[in-house]
Amino acid sequence: MFLPILTLVLGITIGVLVIVWLEREISAGIQQRIGPEYAGPLGILQALADGTKLIFKENLFPSRGDTRLFSIGPSIAVISILLSYSVIPFSYHLVLSDLNIGVFLWIAISSIAPIGLLMSGYGSNNKYSFLGGLRAAAQSISYEIPLTLCVLSISLRAIR
């Protein structure tokens, strides 16, 4: 059970890394400049270097804001998206949790992400950041409605 999931996750991760590397190389060629070349041969490890740099960067919190809301908000958004993958069947044998209410649970879990966006915007105690968080949450909700309707219509069609 674990090996197919690991294979799927590693395949997707490697595919994304290759696509990001190709995008950097192609955009460097279009702009007539040298692309990523310092991290590994031909810059293949540039994404790993960027991730390492991101981990060791200093965390900045607003001085007047609520640091708990500001730091928990992105975590809630990311965790809700990652949890929504637990109810998606990737194939007939590759199912993490077989639930009768899987579609509704997926919709419910994925609708938690805008709350994290709102928390981040509100926690900064800045009106522009709050408006940005409000805009991101509204955009996320507005994208969620057609997606939910599409998923529910496919589910209703598959019931018969």
Yes or no: say if 95 and 89 are a contact pair by the CB < 8 Å rule: yes
| Predicted TM-score (pTM) of this structure | 0.63
Q: Which amino acid, residue 20?
A: V
* The dihedral sign for the CA sequence 76, 77, 79, 81: positive
Greater model confidence, 73 or 59: 73
Query: What pLDDT, on a 0 to 100 scale, did the predictor assign at position 59?
Result: 72
Query: What pLDDT, on a 0 to 100 scale, did the predictor assign at position 110?
Result: 85
Tokens representing 101 are 């209410």
Q: Which of 107, 108, 80, 86 is nearest to 98 (CA)?
A: 86
Helix, strand, coil percent content, the chain, rounded in steps of 5: 70, 0, 30
Query: What pLDDT, on a 0 to 100 scale, did the predictor assign at position 36?
Result: 66
Q: Which amino acid, residue 122?
A: Y
pLDDT at 12 over 80: yes
Query: What pLDDT, on a 0 to 100 scale, did the predictor assign at position 135?
Result: 92
DSSP codes, 100-129:
TTHHHHHHHHHTTHHHHHHHHHHHTT-HHH
pLDDT at 112 over 80: yes
Cβ contacts of residue 70 below 8 Å, gap of 6+?
61, 62, 119, 120, 123, 124
Q: Which of 70, 81, 65, 67 is nearest to 147 (CA)?
A: 81
Average pLDDT rounded to a whole number, residues 109-118:
88
Greater model confidence, 94 or 153: 153
Query: What pLDDT, on a 0 to 100 scale, did the predictor assign at position 131?
Result: 92
Band (pLDDT 50/70/90 cuts) for residue 73 is: confident
pLDDT at 34 over 80: no
Tell me which residue has tokens 């890394």.
Answer: 17
43: alpha, beta or left, given left = phi > 0 and alpha = psi -120 to 50?
A: left
Average pLDDT rounded to a whole number, residues 72-82:
87
pLDDT at 82 over 70: yes
